[in-house]
């Protein structure tokens, strides 16, 4: 865990800005999926549930994707 945190602190500023923009977009998608799931709680439409869960899982996947790619691209950029 300390290795990941130290890698995130030493990332290039341009890569870090792209990472933060991607994390903000994914966080907005997480909020939207939470709203859809709360709407399902009151309406009980099964399509809302599947849409909310799919959007939630997708946004969590993209958060992990942005973090891993930022660390990977920074490592490749430092080697070359």
The answer to whether 29 and 52 have CB atoms below 8 angstroms apart is no
Sign of CA dihedral 77, 4, 10, 31: positive
Q: Percentage of the chain surpassing pLDDT 90?
A: 74
Measured between alpha carbons, how far is residue 9 from residues 3, 17, 77 in Å?
10, 12, 15
48-62 per-position pLDDT tens digit? 999 999 999 999 999
Q: What are the residues whose beta carbons fall under 8 Å from the beta carbon of 33, sequence distance 6 or more? A: 52, 53, 55, 56, 59
The answer to whether 66 and 33 have CB atoms below 8 angstroms apart is no
Predicted TM-score (pTM) of this structure? 0.83
């Amino acid at each position: 865990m300390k290795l990941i945190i130290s890698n995130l602190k030493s990332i290039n500023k341009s890569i870090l800005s792209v990472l933060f923009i991607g994390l903000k977009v994914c966080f907005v998608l997480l909020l939207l999926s939470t709203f859809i799931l709360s709407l399902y709680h009151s309406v009980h439409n099964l399509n809302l549930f599947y849409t909310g869960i799919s959007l939630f899982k997708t946004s969590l996947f993209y958060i992990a994707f942005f973090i891993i790619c930022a660390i990977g691209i920074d490592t490749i950029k430092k080697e070359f």
